[in-house]
Structure 1
Amino acid sequence: MQASERTKAPRERVPFWDNARFVCITLVVAGHAIQRLTAESDNALVVYLFIYAFHMPAFAMISGYFSKPGAPGARQMRKVITDIVLPYVIMETIWTLVQFLVEGSVALNPTQPSWTLWFLLALGIFRLILPYLALLKWPLLWAVVFSVGVGYLSNVDSTFSLSRAIGILPFFVLGWKLKEWGLIERWRFVEAPARLVRIGSVAVLLVWVAVLVAFIDVWRATDLRFWFFYDDSYQGLGEDQWWAGLVRLLLIALAVLLSGCVFALVPRRETWMTAFGQATMYVYLLHSFVLYPIRESGVIGGDNSSLTWLIGLLLASVAITVALASPLVRRITRPIIEPKPRWIFREQPDEESREPRSGSSRVDPTGARRR
């Protein structure tokens, strides 16, 4: 048998998913870029709240869609170490060094992820608990119960991103269930949606913008943005009433609605953004190092919070995303983003544990498949 016959044919790429990843990761960069403007600018706060209402839930849904609920084998467990644990340790160490050079302080604490690294740990938690959730009836319902319920527990905090991981768990489980139910294929969602669906999606998004603009003073006074982090307990958010869980439930529903609308508008064909959407983890883990010195310099915010600054930062966010997803940056940073420490693993005789052959496709923690 020829080697080409033994090698499994690569799965056909669906441009929609790469385009959706690019949109989501660009929103992540944009949200972090404009954060310092929100204190002085209502325009920036509107954009910030618009993004944070759904961008990480949408990312979690995509990750869940490409996740498998079966008991992990040797190869899958190795991938948890190489794709999540090692990059987390590497990036957390680098962050400690950067903060020492900039701020003069050393605070190495791997249990408290720095800035954006929380999502990497959350993906690891999702991978570990999905096989157990899949054994239960109504796993999506249980995920929602866990998310709403954890807000009442002030002793569950950001240690190892546990509170935030449980908070956004419903979106990850929803993505997995959409795959299991076959709704994406049944509704032919990856094909171009009907014009009426697109018009309706635009209308919903515009209504959300209008609500943000009309009540921006209310959202600022109630610190709505912190609710979108799915991190603090309700008591920590200043709302320890019994109905606080209903607020989170409404925000979960809002995030699903907005995510669906954005997905409906994402291009289905291959576009200029498709190739960049295959490198979302590179952008996610590296963009904070680009934004951190800018934010710490004091250039952003204060007097520099005008609409011009807002538009400029949004455009810069797209440029940063494209640059960090470029082949050159991926080639230079691959050892820290995709480490391959074969020397730390003992030999596994079973075929399942072998590394993919050179040239085969690879799937990152968000489900992106790339060469």
Structure 2
Amino acid sequence: MDNTLPREGETYFLNLRFILILTVCIANAAEPLIRQMDGLHALYSWIYTYHMPLFVFVTGYFAKGGLGGPEGRKALLQIGLQYIIFQSLYSLLDVVLFKAPDIRHSFFVPYLMLWFLASHMAWRLLMLSMRRFAPAAQCSISLILGVLVGYLPLDGTWLSISRTFVYLPFFVIGYHFSFAAFKRRVTPLKKIGAAALSAALLAVIAFHGIRLPEGWLFGSQTYLQLGHQEWYAGAYRLALYGLQSASGAAFLGWIPFRHGRLTDLGRRTLYVFLLHGIIVRLAAALGLYGYIRHPAGAAVLLAGAVLMACVLAQPFVKKAAYRVIEPQVGWILRLERIALGKT
């Protein structure tokens, strides 16, 4: 298998990664108001039909550049340190300042969006364990696991076990994705058509008042937790996979192929991801959402979310937060060598 990342493919996926982190910021900023404003609820639901599957897809694509060997091991250690650092930081801030409802403070229950770090470690390990199978078999296995995990009699948020397996198929597909084949099949007309379909889905959700089941879109709960005890509950997840795949494919029509400003910003989405939650939670704790009662206020909120993402992706933020966001793991490797009696 070719584990190199074509430069043009890297550009496209960096563009996609930044646009996706914009939607993450918009969705998380809008969430406190979706029960009060139908427009925000429609936008939120539309975003959730594609943004988490596509983010996992992108993560799988970039993982092919360093899944195994020393680079893969280093990546796993770094993700583990990121999880420990930010699970501790967010939990401390929540106890002292945010006081968000229904939050359990435990390293075994990731704090809100930190599930992605816990699942990322698991996706890499699962991908390594499946490497002896052909890509088609890996996709099939991951799909079966994604359906079966919903039947487990446990809390789906524990170690992010539900989301790990629910989104595993998208990681596997991203890992095996051929950008060259994709580029050959995409024409300007197809891109326009895909973007139009994506916009049409938003319009249908908004104008028909469709309320998609958020519990299913989140992927964090078992079927029992979602109120479905039927033996065929897995069929609902298969149907959701169809919706997410179609919505995600259509959303790709919005993504430019060319190198530009988005590409540079896409290199620092990790900083946006790990830091934006502090700003959103702080705004909620300070009661700022209480001042947003009209569409004009909602528009300002969305503009602020976009600005927040752009600012957090700036080089000066990386310079200030690099040691925390991308912790060094060399010291762990050195301790391991000493423990094993190696020089």
Normalising by structure 1, we get a TM-score of 0.81
Task: Provide the aligned C-alpha RMSD in A.
Answer: 2.5
1:166 and 2:165 matched: yes
> Within 1, Cα distance between the matches of 2:285 and 2:153?
31
1:34 and 2:34 matched: no
% same residue: 27
1:133 and 2:122 matched: no
> Within 1, Cα distance between the matches of 2:67 and 2:305?
39
> Within 1, Cα distance between the matches of 2:70 and 2:207?
53
The residue aligned with 1:114 is: 111
**Counterpart pick for 1:97 among 92, 100, 117:** 92
The residue aligned with 1:308 is: 296
1:205 and 2:198 matched: yes
Q: CA deviation at 1:85?
A: 0.6
Q: CA deviation at 1:37?
A: 1.0
Q: CA deviation at 1:311?
A: 1.7
SS for the counterpart of 2:247 is helix
Q: CA deviation at 1:244?
A: 2.5
Which 5+ residue runs of structure 2 have no aligned equivalent? 338-343
> Within 1, Cα distance between the matches of 2:95 and 2:304?
27
> Within 2, Cα distance between the matches of 1:334 and 1:300?
31
> Within 1, Cα distance between the matches of 2:222 and 2:47?
22
Written as runs of structure 1 = structure 2, the 5 A alignment for 1:61-80 is 61-68=57-64, 72-80=68-76
SS for the counterpart of 2:151 is coil
Q: CA deviation at 1:148?
A: 1.2
Written as runs of structure 1 = structure 2, the 5 A alignment for 1:1-371 is 12=7, 14-68=10-64, 72-82=68-78, 84-102=79-97, 108-137=105-134, 138-178=137-177, 182=178, 184-188=179-183, 193-216=186-209, 219=211, 224-300=213-289, 304-346=292-334
2:143–2:168 CA contact under 8 A, matched in 1:
yes
> Within 2, Cα distance between the matches of 1:345 and 1:69?
21
SS for the counterpart of 2:263 is coil
Q: CA deviation at 1:212?
A: 1.2
1:69–1:130 CA contact under 8 A, matched in 2:
no
> Within 1, Cα distance between the matches of 2:76 and 2:260?
31
Which whole-Å deviations, capped at 9, do the CAs of 1:69-120 have from their partners, x for residues lacking one?
99832442132112x0111111111112212221579964111111111001
> Within 1, Cα distance between the matches of 2:198 and 2:38?
18
Number of residue pairs aligned between Structure 1 and Structure 2: 328
The residue aligned with 1:5 is: none
2:76–2:121 CA contact under 8 A, matched in 1:
yes
Normalising by structure 2, we get a TM-score of 0.88
Distance of aligned partners of 1:212 and 1:341 in 2 relative to their CA distance in 1, 3 Å threshold: same
The residue aligned with 2:340 is: none
Deviates more, 1:38-47 or 1:201-210: 201-210
